[in-house]
Amino acid sequence: MDVNLARTFLIVAETGSFVDAARKLNITQSTVSARIKGLEDLLGRPLFTRSKSGVELTGAGELFQKHALALVRVWQQAQLQVSLADQHPEHISVGAPLSLWNGFLLKWASGLRANIPGIALSATAGASSQLSPRLIEGTLDLAVMYRPSLPPGLTIEHLFDEEFVLVSSAKAGGRRTVSDYLLVDWGIDFVQDHAAAFPQHANPAISLDLGPMALDYLLANECSGYFPARMVKKLIARGRVREPKRARKFIYPVYMVYPEARNEEAFEPILRGLRRAAAKFN
């Protein structure tokens, strides 16, 4: 199937309009209509319902959307790898939550490039629910994540346990209120566990899903919140933040996940380096 059909479908679904999709793709509206009709003919199902206010996905369209995303990603990955082939004979695409890139995977990536100079690395940040499908479709070679599901065809290997601790940038002894609490979204598991443990923080004054960047806010404002222990260890030692005594901790295992079918000779040095990088947190 022409990947342009899938790409056009996704833009129409995003904009809810053939006119807006045509403008975004810099093509005519009739071309957009022809592409969608061609796609619907191929699939044998209508993908959109039309109305004066625009278009909406049908049930079949909603089902096709994830496959269209996969088609476009696979094509983009193919283009990237082919374009890099002359300068970089090896390429690896790695995905992980933002929290695991900070202070861990970025350092590993530097070591990887030093030890395997010819390798090209593509990095992406995302939740486990987003990364697992990409491993299956082949647009990711390796993922590092908390509590992953294990679809058939993937291997899972424990690296270390991530400990989330409460830290505060406020002076000890000062009176704090619920409004001084910073809720950092570290993923669905953390959010659910946090809600069960601290119902009083169900509606915090500030909630951030910016991961490690939330630490900048904590350091600039007198408040408290949960962060990976490895991320705040030096700050605690320097007195920039403090860890309240007897505060609850949240612990999540970190795994690397990769395809069972792989080039062992090329892949094993990469995995060994990742194991070494993770060993310091055990």
**Per-residue confidence band for 127, with pLDDT thresholds at 50, 70 and 90:** confident
pLDDT at 89 over 60: no
- Confidence bin at 215 (pLDDT 50/70/90): very high
Please, what is the average pLDDT of the chain?
87
Task: Name the token pair of 140.
Answer: 């990711």
Distances (CA, A) of 107 to 14, 110, 121, 208, 274: 36, 5, 13, 25, 10
Helix (H) or strand (E) holding 54: strand 54-57
pLDDT band at 249 (very low <50, low <70, confident <90, very high): very high
Match 């062992």 to its residue by tokens. Answer: 264
d(CA 131, CA 129): 6
Distances in Å between the Cα of 249 and the Cα atoms of 71, 76, 95, 207, 213 are: 41, 41, 26, 19, 20
Instruction: Tell me the average pLDDT across 180-203.
Output: 88
Find the helix or strand (DSSP H, E) in which 199 lies. none
Quickly state the pLDDT bin for 177 (edges 50, 70, 90). low
Q: What is the pLDDT of residue 194?
A: 92
Nearest CA among 18, 14, 11, 51 for reference residue 32: 18
Among 98-107, 165-174, 248-257, the minimum mean pLDDT is found in: 165-174
Span of 35-44, 92-101, 134-143, 247-256 with lowest mean pLDDT: 134-143
* pLDDT higher than 90, residue 137: no
Which pLDDT band, with edges at 50, 70 and 90, does 175 fall under? low
What is the helix (H) or strand (E) element at residue 229, kind and residue range? helix 229-238
What integer is the mean pLDDT of 75-103? 77
Residues of the chain above pLDDT 90, percent: 45
Mean pLDDT value across residues 118-142: 85
Asked if residue 157 has pLDDT above 70, the reply is yes
Dihedral over alpha carbons 187, 238, 175, 207 (to 10 degrees): -20
Averaged pLDDT for residues 38-65: 90
Task: Write the CA distances from 206 to 129, 221, 268, integer angstroms.
Answer: 25, 12, 43
